[in-house]
Copies of this chain bind each other. A is one copy, B any other.
Amino acid sequence: MKLALPLRNTSEELMRLTLTALPNIPLIQRGDDLVEIILRGLDDARIELQDNDVLVLAQKIVSKAEGRMVRLCDVTPSPRALELAQQSGKDARLCEVILWDTREILRVRAGLIIVETKHGWVCANAGIDRSNVAPHDENEWVLRLPEDADQSARALRERMRALTQRDVGIIINDSHGRAWRNGAVGVAIGVAGIPAVEDLRGKPDLFGYPLQVTTVGLADQIASAASLLQGQANEGRPIVHVRGVPMTRREGCAREIVRAKEYDLFR
Protein backbone atom coordinates (compact mmCIF):
# COMPACT_ATOMS: atom_id res chain seq x y z
CA MET A 1 0.00 0.00 0.00
CA LYS A 2 2.66 2.47 1.03
CA LEU A 3 4.78 1.80 -2.05
CA ALA A 4 1.82 2.34 -4.33
CA LEU A 5 1.50 5.94 -3.13
CA PRO A 6 3.32 8.68 -5.04
CA LEU A 7 5.90 9.24 -2.28
CA ARG A 8 8.06 12.34 -2.29
CA ASN A 9 10.70 13.68 0.10
CA THR A 10 11.77 10.20 1.00
CA SER A 11 15.31 11.39 1.49
CA GLU A 12 14.19 14.34 3.61
CA GLU A 13 15.47 14.40 7.16
CA LEU A 14 12.87 14.59 9.90
CA MET A 15 12.12 18.26 10.51
CA ARG A 16 11.64 18.98 14.18
CA LEU A 17 11.25 22.19 16.13
CA THR A 18 11.83 22.14 19.89
CA LEU A 19 10.95 24.93 22.30
CA THR A 20 11.96 24.87 25.95
CA ALA A 21 10.93 27.38 28.61
CA LEU A 22 14.04 27.99 30.69
CA PRO A 23 13.46 27.13 34.35
CA ASN A 24 14.29 29.07 37.50
CA ILE A 25 14.32 32.53 35.95
CA PRO A 26 14.35 35.04 38.83
CA LEU A 27 12.30 38.23 39.01
CA ILE A 28 14.25 40.68 36.90
CA GLN A 29 15.56 43.93 38.35
CA ARG A 30 16.90 47.03 36.67
CA GLY A 31 20.47 46.43 35.58
CA ASP A 32 20.29 42.62 35.65
CA ASP A 33 22.52 40.85 33.15
CA LEU A 34 19.97 38.89 31.11
CA VAL A 35 22.63 36.89 29.28
CA GLU A 36 24.02 35.55 32.56
CA ILE A 37 20.48 34.66 33.58
CA ILE A 38 19.84 32.92 30.23
CA LEU A 39 23.04 30.91 30.63
CA ARG A 40 22.03 29.72 34.08
CA GLY A 41 18.57 28.81 32.74
CA LEU A 42 20.09 26.85 29.86
CA ASP A 43 22.33 25.07 32.32
CA ASP A 44 19.38 24.17 34.55
CA ALA A 45 17.53 22.87 31.48
CA ARG A 46 20.66 20.94 30.42
CA ILE A 47 20.68 22.61 27.04
CA GLU A 48 24.01 23.20 25.36
CA LEU A 49 23.66 26.28 23.20
CA GLN A 50 24.33 25.86 19.46
CA ASP A 51 24.72 28.20 16.53
CA ASN A 52 21.31 28.90 14.91
CA ASP A 53 19.41 28.43 18.15
CA VAL A 54 16.96 31.24 18.85
CA LEU A 55 16.26 32.75 22.26
CA VAL A 56 12.93 34.47 22.80
CA LEU A 57 12.69 36.93 25.69
CA ALA A 58 9.44 38.44 26.93
CA GLN A 59 9.47 42.21 26.46
CA LYS A 60 8.67 42.62 30.11
CA ILE A 61 12.00 41.33 31.39
CA VAL A 62 13.97 43.33 28.84
CA SER A 63 12.10 46.49 29.80
CA LYS A 64 12.69 45.82 33.49
CA ALA A 65 16.40 45.13 33.04
CA GLU A 66 16.58 48.40 31.12
CA GLY A 67 14.81 50.31 33.87
CA ARG A 68 11.71 51.24 31.87
CA MET A 69 9.41 51.23 34.92
CA VAL A 70 7.53 54.44 35.66
CA ARG A 71 5.79 55.24 38.95
CA LEU A 72 2.44 56.80 38.14
CA CYS A 73 2.51 59.06 41.20
CA ASP A 74 5.56 60.76 39.70
CA VAL A 75 3.69 61.56 36.45
CA THR A 76 1.84 64.84 35.82
CA PRO A 77 -0.74 64.45 33.06
CA SER A 78 -0.70 67.02 30.26
CA PRO A 79 -3.94 68.55 28.93
CA ARG A 80 -3.82 66.06 26.06
CA ALA A 81 -3.50 63.17 28.53
CA LEU A 82 -6.46 64.50 30.53
CA GLU A 83 -8.52 64.57 27.35
CA LEU A 84 -7.46 61.02 26.42
CA ALA A 85 -8.32 59.90 29.96
CA GLN A 86 -11.78 61.35 29.61
CA GLN A 87 -12.33 59.67 26.24
CA SER A 88 -11.04 56.28 27.36
CA GLY A 89 -11.89 56.18 31.05
CA LYS A 90 -8.26 55.30 31.81
CA ASP A 91 -6.00 56.85 34.45
CA ALA A 92 -4.77 60.25 33.19
CA ARG A 93 -1.22 59.54 34.37
CA LEU A 94 -1.21 56.25 32.45
CA CYS A 95 -2.50 58.19 29.42
CA GLU A 96 0.42 60.59 29.80
CA VAL A 97 2.92 57.71 29.73
CA ILE A 98 1.10 56.21 26.72
CA LEU A 99 1.48 59.55 24.92
CA TRP A 100 5.24 59.59 25.59
CA ASP A 101 5.58 56.50 23.40
CA THR A 102 2.89 57.31 20.82
CA ARG A 103 3.34 58.55 17.27
CA GLU A 104 -0.36 58.54 16.38
CA ILE A 105 -3.56 57.68 18.23
CA LEU A 106 -5.64 55.41 15.98
CA ARG A 107 -8.74 54.49 17.99
CA VAL A 108 -10.13 55.45 21.39
CA ARG A 109 -13.15 53.85 23.02
CA ALA A 110 -14.20 53.28 26.63
CA GLY A 111 -11.41 51.18 28.15
CA LEU A 112 -9.45 51.02 24.89
CA ILE A 113 -6.65 53.10 23.40
CA ILE A 114 -5.01 51.84 20.21
CA VAL A 115 -2.00 53.74 18.94
CA GLU A 116 0.91 53.52 16.61
CA THR A 117 3.94 53.63 18.88
CA LYS A 118 7.08 55.59 18.11
CA HIS A 119 8.61 52.25 17.10
CA GLY A 120 5.83 51.69 14.53
CA TRP A 121 3.77 49.04 16.39
CA VAL A 122 0.02 49.29 16.29
CA CYS A 123 -1.13 48.07 19.69
CA ALA A 124 -3.19 48.86 22.77
CA ASN A 125 -1.81 51.39 25.28
CA ALA A 126 1.45 51.85 23.37
CA GLY A 127 2.47 48.46 24.77
CA ILE A 128 2.50 49.86 28.29
CA ASP A 129 1.72 47.21 30.83
CA ARG A 130 0.30 47.37 34.29
CA SER A 131 0.13 43.66 35.09
CA ASN A 132 3.15 41.70 36.32
CA VAL A 133 5.12 44.86 37.00
CA ALA A 134 5.28 44.95 40.77
CA PRO A 135 3.59 43.49 43.82
CA HIS A 136 -0.03 44.44 44.33
CA ASP A 137 0.55 47.10 46.95
CA GLU A 138 2.86 48.98 44.61
CA ASN A 139 0.63 48.74 41.57
CA GLU A 140 1.23 52.34 40.67
CA TRP A 141 4.12 51.16 38.51
CA VAL A 142 3.79 50.75 34.77
CA LEU A 143 6.31 49.43 32.26
CA ARG A 144 7.20 50.99 28.92
CA LEU A 145 8.52 49.07 25.91
CA PRO A 146 12.30 49.11 25.46
CA GLU A 147 13.48 52.37 23.91
CA ASP A 148 14.85 50.43 20.92
CA ALA A 149 14.13 46.71 21.16
CA ASP A 150 16.14 45.92 18.02
CA GLN A 151 19.15 47.49 19.69
CA SER A 152 18.38 45.53 22.88
CA ALA A 153 18.26 42.31 20.85
CA ARG A 154 21.53 43.11 19.08
CA ALA A 155 23.24 43.80 22.40
CA LEU A 156 21.99 40.51 23.86
CA ARG A 157 23.19 38.65 20.79
CA GLU A 158 26.64 40.26 20.91
CA ARG A 159 27.06 39.57 24.60
CA MET A 160 25.92 35.98 24.13
CA ARG A 161 28.47 35.58 21.37
CA ALA A 162 31.19 37.09 23.56
CA LEU A 163 30.44 34.72 26.44
CA THR A 164 29.77 31.52 24.49
CA GLN A 165 31.14 31.95 20.93
CA ARG A 166 27.69 30.88 19.73
CA ASP A 167 25.85 32.80 17.04
CA VAL A 168 22.20 32.73 18.09
CA GLY A 169 19.10 34.61 17.01
CA ILE A 170 17.35 36.83 19.54
CA ILE A 171 13.66 37.78 19.58
CA ILE A 172 12.01 40.09 22.08
CA ASN A 173 8.30 39.30 22.06
CA ASP A 174 5.10 40.85 23.32
CA SER A 175 1.40 39.93 23.11
CA HIS A 176 -0.71 42.04 20.78
CA GLY A 177 -4.36 42.07 19.94
CA ARG A 178 -5.22 42.03 16.24
CA ALA A 179 -7.72 43.30 13.75
CA TRP A 180 -10.46 40.85 12.74
CA ARG A 181 -9.41 37.98 15.01
CA ASN A 182 -10.06 37.41 18.72
CA GLY A 183 -7.18 36.57 21.03
CA ALA A 184 -3.81 38.21 21.54
CA VAL A 185 -0.80 36.47 20.02
CA GLY A 186 2.93 36.70 20.52
CA VAL A 187 4.68 39.09 18.13
CA ALA A 188 8.29 40.16 17.72
CA ILE A 189 9.17 43.72 18.68
CA GLY A 190 12.94 43.25 18.68
CA VAL A 191 14.99 40.94 16.46
CA ALA A 192 18.68 40.22 15.93
CA GLY A 193 20.50 37.61 13.89
CA ILE A 194 17.54 36.15 12.00
CA PRO A 195 15.25 37.45 9.26
CA ALA A 196 12.17 39.08 10.77
CA VAL A 197 10.36 38.82 7.43
CA GLU A 198 11.34 36.26 4.81
CA ASP A 199 10.97 37.33 1.21
CA LEU A 200 9.88 34.47 -1.04
CA ARG A 201 9.10 36.59 -4.10
CA GLY A 202 10.10 34.78 -7.24
CA LYS A 203 10.27 31.41 -5.49
CA PRO A 204 8.41 28.62 -7.28
CA ASP A 205 5.77 26.41 -5.73
CA LEU A 206 5.71 22.61 -5.96
CA PHE A 207 4.79 22.83 -9.63
CA GLY A 208 7.05 25.70 -10.65
CA TYR A 209 4.20 28.21 -10.46
CA PRO A 210 4.95 31.42 -8.49
CA LEU A 211 4.01 31.25 -4.81
CA GLN A 212 0.98 33.25 -3.79
CA VAL A 213 2.25 34.15 -0.33
CA THR A 214 5.37 36.20 -0.93
CA THR A 215 6.56 37.33 2.48
CA VAL A 216 6.45 35.35 5.69
CA GLY A 217 6.48 36.76 9.21
CA LEU A 218 9.18 34.39 10.46
CA ALA A 219 10.01 36.23 13.70
CA ASP A 220 6.33 36.74 14.53
CA GLN A 221 5.67 33.03 14.06
CA ILE A 222 8.56 32.15 16.38
CA ALA A 223 7.29 34.77 18.84
CA SER A 224 3.84 33.15 18.80
CA ALA A 225 5.29 29.67 19.26
CA ALA A 226 7.32 30.82 22.27
CA SER A 227 4.30 32.58 23.70
CA LEU A 228 2.54 29.20 23.99
CA LEU A 229 5.04 28.29 26.71
CA GLN A 230 5.43 31.70 28.29
CA GLY A 231 1.77 32.09 29.18
CA GLN A 232 0.46 35.50 30.10
CA ALA A 233 1.67 35.86 33.65
CA ASN A 234 4.88 35.51 31.74
CA GLU A 235 7.53 36.57 34.11
CA GLY A 236 7.34 33.03 35.37
CA ARG A 237 8.63 31.61 32.07
CA PRO A 238 9.85 34.66 30.17
CA ILE A 239 12.70 33.02 28.25
CA VAL A 240 12.22 30.29 25.65
CA HIS A 241 14.96 28.43 23.84
CA VAL A 242 14.10 27.41 20.26
CA ARG A 243 15.97 24.87 18.16
CA GLY A 244 15.29 23.76 14.60
CA VAL A 245 13.76 26.77 12.85
CA PRO A 246 14.26 26.27 9.10
CA MET A 247 15.62 29.60 7.84
CA THR A 248 18.33 31.30 5.87
CA ARG A 249 20.07 33.46 8.46
CA ARG A 250 20.89 37.11 8.05
CA GLU A 251 21.22 40.10 10.34
CA GLY A 252 17.54 41.03 10.54
CA CYS A 253 15.60 43.50 12.68
CA ALA A 254 12.01 43.92 13.82
CA ARG A 255 11.77 47.16 11.88
CA GLU A 256 11.27 44.96 8.77
CA ILE A 257 7.89 43.98 10.20
CA VAL A 258 6.52 47.53 10.44
CA ARG A 259 4.20 48.01 7.48
CA ALA A 260 4.63 51.43 5.94
CA LYS A 261 1.51 53.49 6.50
CA GLU A 262 1.01 54.03 2.76
CA TYR A 263 0.87 50.26 2.22
CA ASP A 264 -1.55 49.66 5.07
CA LEU A 265 -5.17 49.54 4.00
CA PHE A 266 -6.52 49.06 7.51
CA ARG A 267 -5.78 52.11 9.64
Contact = CB atoms under 8 A, between A and B. Distances in A.
Interface of A: 2, 5-10, 12, 14-21, 23-27, 40, 45, 107, 109, 112, 114, 121-122, 125, 129-136, 139, 175, 177-187, 196-198, 200, 203-213, 215-218, 220-222, 224-225, 227-229, 231-233, 235-237, 245-246, 256-259, 264-267
Report the copy number of this chain in the oligomer: 2
A45 to B, nearest CB: 6
A207 B258 CA distance: 33
A241 B129 CA distance: 34
Contact of A215 (B184, B212, B225, B258): B184
Given A109-B265, A215-B182, A232-B213, A208 B136 contact: yes
A91 to B, nearest CB: 13
Nearest to A237: B15
B259 A232 contact: no
A64 to B, nearest CB: 12
A180 B236 contact: no
